[in-house]
Amino acid sequence: MAERPLRIALFTYSTRPRGGVVHALELAEALAELGHRVRLFALEKPGRSGFFRPTDIPATFIPVDEITGETMDDRIARYIEAYVRYLEPELSARHDYDVYHAEDCISGNALVRLHRLGRVPRVVRTVHHVDDFPSPALMGCQRDSIVDPDTVLVVSEWWRRRLAEDFGVASQVVHNGVDLRHFTPPENATAREAERARLGLSGRTVVLSVGGVEPRKNTLVLLEAFVRARGRIRKATGRSPLLLIAGGATLFDYREYRDAFEREAARLVEVGLLEPDSVLRTGPIENDELLAYYRAADVLAFPSLKEGWGLTVLEAQATGTPVVAGDLEVMREYLVHERNALLVAPGDPDAIAGALVRAVADRALAATLRRNGLETARRYDWRSSAVRHVRIYRDMPA
């Protein structure tokens, strides 16, 4: 006898294109394609109108205000409270869903509180990575959302071990996927050049960074590496190098780090080590724009200090863009140096610079990285991830 479809509620803290939000959207759609009933829940700030890209999945948006001058601790507490207050009358004691799955610490803590009130039978939480936050509230939010849920999932073997060793929490690995229908290579070289022209990137060698300017993305060290690589890139390609930093929507306040980045970029221009048009920050962008930037880029620079898995890497590989990534244990779960990526010590700007030069100057190497990168991306589809999730959901105690 066929098993009945599951009723699944997925929860996230935002509608902007961050890793956990992308995960929630993609997983929801893959689960729905398998025949399950899925609803998304997300916090939404004023002036927003749904997720960063269209979806057919039913969604509930929980309004939260912007409060100027609010501390991060107060914001986290307010966001959790907003989730609880909105959902408590919404989720009846009959338990309208079979699965309540949180993608972040905010929704995770809210669901744990609702579980204690009898509104939610069990809480599932995906832990993408663990951060060292300066905010006590965020650290507490993160810890409680790891320790208190009934079922904990992680996106890599590295984080499964970390949760066991650092928190005493047993978790199950479910890898991320990549949307292979959206993230595709350009049809040919002519189409790629047309895309570059439309974006105003003709005649440039584009070093793409995705995720905005923030400490975990190691953007200041990347800037230093780019400056060291510029002359060699120009000599090898005959084109003016551009560091293009796409995206940047985030819950956290990285103003000090961003200000430091801007000061350093301005200093480098002033002393003649950087041209004024050598660094471009797009700010938050839509999904179609992100695809266009991947296709237009000559290399993705991803020297992160910490990652859960690296959705950005898979997206770049799916579009045929060579990848330079931080040599982290989690990245080595699916990346092999000089086969499908160049792996570098993230704290070494000389190593990053050298890898960027190799990726754009060595045509044979770039072709190898593109070909093997495409093969890698094709191994990680969201349908397989959804099937694994369903197996775990069904195995949970009633």
The per-residue pLDDT for range 195-229, each reduced to its tens digit, is: 999 999 999 999 999 988 989 899 999 999 999 99
185: left (phi over 0), alpha (psi -120 to 50) or beta: beta
pLDDT, greater one: 56 or 1 = 56
pLDDT over 90 for what percent of the chain?
Answer: 79
The per-residue pLDDT for range 289-330, each reduced to its tens digit, is: 999 999 999 999 999 998 988 899 999 999 999 999 999 999
Record the tokens describing residue 397, joined without a space.
Answer: 């105690």
CATH number of 7-177+381-395: 3.40.50.2000
Separation CA 283–CA 364 (nearest Å): 33
Q: What is the DSSP string of 333-384?
A: GT--BTTTBEEE-TT-HHHHHHHHHHHHH-HHHHHHHHHHHHHHHHT-BHHH
Record the tokens describing residue 81, joined without a space.
Answer: 């409270």
Separation CA 55–CA 67 (nearest Å): 29
One fold for 7-177+381-395 and 189-378: yes
Residue 299, φ and ψ in degrees, nearest 5: -160, 145
Query: Given a cut of 90, is residue 137 above it in pLDDT?
Result: no
Predicted TM-score (pTM) of this structure: 0.91
Using 50, 70 and 90 to split pLDDT, how confident is the model at 140? confident
Quick count: other Cβ atoms within 10 Å of Cβ 259? 11
Amino acid at position 60, single letter? T
Query: Given a cut of 90, is residue 256 above it in pLDDT?
Result: no
Structural domain boundaries in the chain: 7-177+381-395, 189-378
What's the alpha-carbon Rg for the chain, to the nearest Å?
A: 21
**pLDDT value of residue 95:** 64
The per-residue pLDDT for range 336-372, each reduced to its tens digit, is: 999 999 999 999 999 999 999 999 999 999 999 999 9
The per-residue pLDDT for range 324-333, each reduced to its tens digit, is: 999 999 999 9
Average pLDDT over residues 268-297: 92
Separation CA 173–CA 157 (nearest Å): 6
166 and 370 Cβ atoms separated by less than 8 Å: no
**Burial readout 195-205 (b: 16 or more C-beta within 10 A, e: otherwise):** bbeebebeebb
Using 50, 70 and 90 to split pLDDT, how confident is the model at 166? very high
Which H or E run includes 101? strand 99-102
CA-based diameter of the chain, in Å? Answer: 73
With respect to CATH, is domain 189-378 assigned 3.30.420.140?
Answer: no
